[in-house]
Amino acid sequence: MRSYKGYAGTVEFEEDDLVFHGRVVGIRDLVTYEASTAEGLVKAFRDSVEDYLSFCAEQGKEPEKPFSGKLALRTTPEIHDLVSRAAASDGKSVNQWISDTLADAASKRVEAGWTRVRS
């Protein structure tokens, strides 16, 4: 889904109900949308972002901004050295290696948690 006012969203299709749905990603607040057509989903996404921004304004609350993608990390010199060597052995930059490793670990954790919630 293209971003709208800096916000991005997921797109999923629920085959049993024949409906598209998604949620705004990169913020902790829960903002969802759904529609029965792809065109409707784009409109629903934009409407949900507008509703979220309006709700925040009504509440006098600053709306959350999407994550920037920048993550500051402090570690020990020994771990820094290990990470550097692991990245080199994979032919990656330290940044790319950390990003790939965190994405893999986070995906496994989230999927494991999701499975427990659904069971």
pLDDT band at 1 (very low <50, low <70, confident <90, very high): low
Instruction: Count Cβ neighbours within 10 Å for each residue of 67-78 and write b for 16 or more, e otherwise.
Output: eeeeeeeeeeee
Per-residue model confidence (pLDDT) at position 118: 45
pLDDT tens digits, 77-108:
999 999 999 999 999 999 999 999 999 998 88
99 Cβ partners below 8 Å, 6+ apart? none
Residue 102 C-beta-side C-alpha neighbours within 13 Å: 10
Residue among 87, 38, 116 at smallest CA distance from 22: 38
Beta bridge partners of 12: 21
> Above 50 in pLDDT, residue 76?
yes
Assess whether pLDDT exceeds 90 at residue 34: yes
Mean per-residue pLDDT, 64-83 = 90
Closest C-alpha among 29, 28, 32 to residue 9: 32
